[in-house]
Each structure stands twice: as C-alpha cells, then as structure tokens.
C-alpha cells in the first residue's frame, strides 16, 4: 500500500517542479522584455534631453533632470508610445495635445523654480507638464476643464504616485482663489489676453507664463509681478490649443 503512494507523490513533485520551472521561465522572459523596453525609453529620453533641450539652450539643471527622469511614454496612448520622445506635440484625445518637449522645458525654465514653490497650472491635459513641475517644486495645483481628460489624468497621477499634485475640474481662467497666491502660474492653452484673476492670484515676485495671441499662433509671454505692477517679456512664437472659459475663448 505504501509503495504506490510514494510513486504518486513522487510524480506530482516532478510535475510541480516542472510547473514552477515553466512559470519562472515565462516570468523571466516578461521581465527581460520589460527591461529591454525600459532601456529603450531611457535611451530615447536621454537623446531627447541632449538633442532637443541642451542643444537648444535649456540650461536649468532641475528641468533637464526632471525631463530625463519622467516616463513621457506613459502620458500618451499605447499606440503612440514609440513617438513619445519625438521633437513634436502629440494628440492626447478630446482634440487636445501634449506639447513638444522643448516648449515644456522652455516654459518651465522661464518660471525660474527653486523647489519651494506652489505652482498653478491651467490645462492639465495628459498630466506631463504637471509631472515635470511636481518633480521640481513643493506642490502643483492643476486645473482641467475637460472631464474625460481630468478623470483619466487624475488616475494616472495616483498610479505614478504624484502625491504633490492636486487636480481640479473647473474653468482655469478663473484661477484657484482659495489656494492663492501662487509663486508661479503656467497656462498651457492659448488666449487673447492673460486672464486678470490669474494675475491677481500671482504672488508679488511671482512668474507667469502663457501663450497669448490669436487662434492659430501665439507668443509665449512671461509676466513678472512686482509690488507696483507687472512687467512682460516675449519668449517667442508658439502654437497652442484654445484656452476656453470665462476669461478665454468662447467654446
Ligand atoms: N499641460 C498639458 C497640455 C494640454 S493641452 C500637458 O502636459 O499635456 C491644453 C489643455 O488645456 C487641454 O486639455 C484643454 O482641455 C485645457 N483647457 C482649455 N481651456 C481650459 C480652461 N479654461 N481651464 C482648464 N483647462 C483648460
């Protein structure tokens, strides 16, 4: 009676051992593939930083480090991951776009951030710009008017553990009075003029960057707020989607 039992146990041990071996091999393959992809994205990211940012004059080391770290490919749809580090904007759904890496670097650099700031962003979109800010500053407040994008991106912030990003669904042209004043404000959609509530909610000494102009082309404007008023400066031409709201374009 004892012998058959031993045989059966023996066989099942062998089967179990083979099963573990098979799963292990599959797991290792998957891990290998993942690492290979990760290495590819890492290489593309470093190329992006060198060829698109440093070579064009971006010098802020915090901006370069943040953009060299953030997995930009996770902020676009799966079909576009291989284009995520390209030198161009990309569609993110809802007729909106994620900006070209250089524009994001230029706008972030213009805010002259040191790390302690509370920053307001208008136009959360894919969440990439907010992530760049979140890597550098103390806290990011970001507002999106499109509910589909708001819901999707808020989930992504959770998944990527960006706990210092506070996201809100509303019209960003009215700012976020309860959390003001902000040390810096960045508007990632274009309007004909800078919404007055945003200037009001900027701290004295604070910087604001926004594309200002017509529907099809704008100038990137940098505003600095002083005790006795504001000074503005143009950083060059750009093309952004519409800033829609009470102090922006009508829908
Ligand atoms: N910063 C984004 C860019 C998104 S494109 C990124 O990194 O991906 C601009 C976004 O601004 C769009 O998602 C659009 O829906 C949003 N937007 C336009 N007008 C707005 C408003 N008044 N308030 C908040 N978001 C607005």
Kindly report the protein residue whose alpha carbon is nearest to atom 23 of ligand 1.
Answer: 172
Check pLDDT > 70 for residue 14.
no
- 164 within some domain: yes
CA atoms within 13 A on the CB side of 246: 9
CB-based contact 142:171 (threshold 8 Å): no
Distance (Å, whole) CA 83 – CA 199:
36
Query: Cα dist. 66→9, 31, 92, 137 in Å?
Result: 56, 26, 21, 11
Place of tokens 């989607």: 241
Handedness of CA 76, 77, 81, 84 (dihedral sign): negative
- 250 within some domain: no
**Domain CATH code at residue 66:** 3.40.50.150
Kindly report the protein residue whose alpha carbon is nearest to atom 2 of ligand 1.
Answer: 125
Distance (Å, whole) CA 151 – CA 178:
22
Kindly report the protein residue whose alpha carbon is nearest to atom 14 of ligand 1.
Answer: 123
In a mutational test of the pocket of ligand 1, which residue from 88, 91, 189, 249 has the highest number of ligand atoms less than 8 Å from its CB?
189
CB-based contact 140:168 (threshold 8 Å): no
Query: Cα dist. 156→55, 71, 147, 188 in Å?
Result: 31, 12, 14, 19
Ligand 1 within 6 A of 60 CB? Answer: no
- 39 within some domain: no
- 247 within some domain: no
- 124 within some domain: yes
Angle between the 61-69 and 2-47 helix axes, to the nearest 10 degrees?
A: 150
Q: What is the pLDDT of residue 35?
A: 84
Distance (Å, whole) CA 63 – CA 104:
9
Q: Closest ligand 1 atom to the C-alpha of 92?
A: 8
pTM above 0.85, yes or no: yes
Q: What is the torsion angle, in degrees rounded to the nearest 10, for the CA atoms of residue 117, residue 118, residue 123 and residue 128?
A: 50
Ligand 1 within 6 A of 244 CB? Answer: yes
pLDDT digits (tens, 9 = 90+) for 144-159: 999 999 999 999 999 9
For the chain, how many structural domains are there in total? Answer: 1
The catalytic residues are 99
In angstroms, how far is CA 234 from the centroid of its own chain? 24
Q: How far is ligand 1, taken at its centre, from the CA of residue 244, in Å?
A: 9
Q: How far is ligand 1, taken at its centre, from the CA of residue 96, in Å?
A: 7
Angle, vertex CA 89, rays to CA 191 and CA 53, nearest 5: 100
CB-based contact 189:211 (threshold 8 Å): yes
- 120 within some domain: yes
Structure tokens at 55: 């070579």
- 19 within some domain: no
pLDDT digits (tens, 9 = 90+) for 92-144: 999 999 999 999 999 999 999 999 999 999 999 999 999 999 999 999 999 99
Structural domain of residue 77, as residue ranges? 58-238
Q: Which residues pair with 140 in a beta bridge?
A: 119, 165
- 110 within some domain: yes
Q: What is the pLDDT of residue 34?
A: 65
Handedness of CA 75, 50, 186, 134 (dihedral sign): positive
Angle, vertex CA 164, rays to CA 172 and CA 82, nearest 5: 80
pLDDT band at 2 (very low <50, low <70, confident <90, very high): very low
pLDDT band at 206 (very low <50, low <70, confident <90, very high): very high
Q: Closest ligand 1 atom to the C-alpha of 143?
A: 24
Ligand 1 within 6 A of 188 CB? Answer: yes
Check pLDDT > 50 for residue 49.
yes
């Amino acid at each position: 009676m004892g012998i058959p039992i031993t045989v059966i146990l023996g066989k099942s041990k062998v089967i179990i051992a083979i099963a573990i071996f098979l799963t292990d091999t599959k797991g290792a393959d998957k891990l290998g593939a993942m690492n290979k992809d990760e290495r590819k994205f890492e290489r593309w990211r470093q190329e992006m930083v060198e060829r698109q940012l440093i070579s064009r004059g971006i010098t802020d080391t915090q901006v370069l480090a943040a953009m060299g770290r953030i997995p930009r490919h996770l902020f676009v749809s799966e079909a576009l991951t291989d284009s995520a580090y390209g030198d161009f904007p990309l569609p993110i759904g809802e007729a909106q776009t994620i900006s070209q890496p250089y524009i994001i670097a230029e706008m972030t650099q213009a805010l002259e951030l040191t790390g302690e700031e509370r920053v307001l962003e208008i136009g959360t979109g894919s969440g990439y710009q907010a992530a760049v800010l979140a890597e550098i500053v103390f806290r990011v407040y970001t507002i999106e008017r499109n509910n589909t994008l708001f819901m999707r991106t808020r989930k992504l912030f959770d998944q990527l553990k960006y706990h210092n990003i506070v996201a809100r669904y509303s019209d960003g042209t009215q700012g976020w009075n309860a959390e003001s004043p902000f040390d810096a404000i960045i508007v990632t959609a274009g309007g004909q003029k800078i919404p007055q509530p945003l200037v009001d909610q900027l701290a004295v000494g604070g910087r604001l960057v926004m594309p200002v102009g017509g529907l099809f082309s704008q100038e990137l404007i940098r505003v600095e707020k002083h005790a006795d008023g504001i000074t503005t400066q143009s950083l060059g031409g750009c093309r952004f989607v519409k800033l829609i709201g009470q102090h922006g374009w009508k829908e």
